[in-house]
Structure 1
Amino acid sequence: MDQVKVLLFDCFGTLIDWERGMYENIGPLLEQKTCPTVEEVITSLVNEQTPIQNADKTMPYPIVLQESYRQLIAKFRLHYDQDDAEALGDSVTSWPVFSDTGDCLARLRDLGLKLVILTNVDGDSFDQLQQTLEECSGIKFDAIYTADEIGSHKPDLRNFDYALNDLSESFNVSRGQVLCVAQNKLIDIEPANKIGIRCARINRPGVLTGHRGSIDYTKADFEFASLEEFTEEMERVHDGV
């Protein structure tokens, strides 16, 4: 990792605790007597999103989440409330960061690395999340690539091509100097492998989603149990230890 100059971060599941964010905003659903387990609900909410985004490449993320909620309701034959669906979609901008996110971003910036976001969230929705991330870390991201800017969603390879081309033009870096830092195998690790970017997977204990994908492409070059563990390794590499 000594050649790395740019860290290409996913947001949800890596920097933002989206499972907790969803859980804290589906209280009325979980109170229904026939509701399945929390694990089943969260997993379903996440897994429904990629097909929805593939079908409509311009759909804002809060609407994607609302549609995922509607499909979950139909799947488990639960009572649907439009207000609850909209409340879940609107909650996206207030989802919490992981406890190690702020400190680690600051330390990685101190190593002289470019910190970049490649997200499936639309720009309007990401504005508040960007503010949250930058306030908790004291850094400014060097570039942010959103789904609506690109016109497609990960795992589409066009998203990674778009980011790599812009990074090359803006910072004169090659793909060999870019490290994808993400949790989700299907959305990030697999396409990054296909396009030839090295990957560091942040595989936090207890996380429910992001573990599925093609067996041929979902092995990361490096794997860490937290962003803290990853940051410590980057610091060791930087110090030549």
Structure 2
Amino acid sequence: MDQVKALIFDVFGTTVDWRGSMIRHTARFGLPEETADLWRDQYQPQLETVRSGRRPWVNLDVLHRIGLDIVLAELGIDLPDRYRRTLVKAWHALDPWPDVVAGLTHLKESHIIAPCSNGHIAQSVNLAKYAGLPWDAILGAELAHAYKPDPAVYRASADALGLAYDEVCMVAAHNDDLHAARAAGLRTAFVPRPTEDSEPDSDWDIVATTFAELAP
């Protein structure tokens, strides 16, 4: 890891607690707690419509809105459009895990730090402002017009920083994310989270329990 110059981070689940945050946001509109999980269940199927070519590139706000409409229809809930738009924007305001802000601030002293998220640039910027995430840059899916685990997402992030792929380490609480990053040539670091993968399933370059432990 001595040659690593940048750490790029998965966001939903790894950096921020999407589930607790969205349970809180959906409760404001009287929606049942299960709404957050059902909505998240729509995440990968909607991403796949873009990855497969069935839908041209659209950003995550568009896909979140489609997923929300499906879930509300399944629950038999008729929510006004303005409330649906507000709920989609709630994905721009998610709470960080307790170790994240201090951990990122420390890592920033020695490394470039940036998100490598399926969220688009506007969402990532708004989320950073809300959660106090001290990124050096905003990277990820929108640069590549592709969604993880497409290797183009990881490589576009490294290319944007002018770094070789093995000079960049992907940090995630999802083993599948790290498998894809490794296949794209990046280094890998696993940090478990209570709502995501709890154990590493491979010999990742780093296995840590908090962001603070990623520091050299």
TM-score normalized by the length of structure 1? 0.73
Structure 2 counterpart of 1:121: 119
Contact 1:189 1:199 in 2 (8 A): yes
Aligned pairs for 1:82-231 within 5 A: 82-83=80-81, 84-110=83-109, 112-133=110-131, 136=132, 139=134, 141-167=135-161, 169=162, 173-186=163-176, 188-205=177-194, 207=195, 209=196, 219=202, 221=204, 222-227=206-211, 231=212
SS at the partner of 1:152?
Answer: coil
Q: Secondary structure of the residue that 1:81 maps to in structure 2?
A: coil
Q: Which residue of 2 aligns with 1:19?
A: 19
- Matched pairs, number: 209
Letter in 1 for 2:147: H
Name stretches of at least 5 consecutive residues in structure 1 with no aligned partner: 32-36, 212-217
2:71 paired residue number: 72
The change in CA–CA distance for 1:77 and 1:20 in structure 2 (over 3 A counts) is closer
Residues 114, 184 of structure 1: alpha-carbon distance in 2 compared, 3 angstrom cutoff: same
CA distance in 2, matches of 1:29, 1:220: 41
Percent sequence identity is 21
Give the Cα separation in 1 of the matches to 2:197 and 2:39: 11
Deviations 1:98-136 (A, max 9, x none): 2111100111123x1111222211222222123235xx3
Match of 1:3 in 2: 3
Equivalent pair of 2:143/2:157 in contact (CA under 8 Å):
no
Supply the distance in 2 between the matched residues of 1:43 and 1:93 (Cα, whole angstroms).
15
In 1, Cα distance between equivalents of 2:55 and 2:203: 29
Structure 2 unaligned blocks of 5 or more = none
TM-score, length of structure 2 as denominator length:
0.81
- Contact 2:140–2:154, Cα closer than 8 Å, also in 1: no
In structure 2, the CA distance between the partners of 1:122 and 1:202, relative to structure 1 (3 Å rule), is same
Change (3 A) 1:85 1:38: closer
2:32 and 2:77 map into 1 onto residues whose CA distance is 11
Q: Flag the 1:22–1:45 CA change in 2: closer, same or farther, 3 A.
A: farther
Q: Larger Cα Rg: Structure 1 or Structure 2? A: 1
Runs of 4+ in 1 over 6 A off after TM superposition: none
Distance 1:146 1:175 in 2: 14
- Residue 41 in structure 1 maps to residue 38 in structure 2: yes
SS of the residue 2:142 aligns to: helix
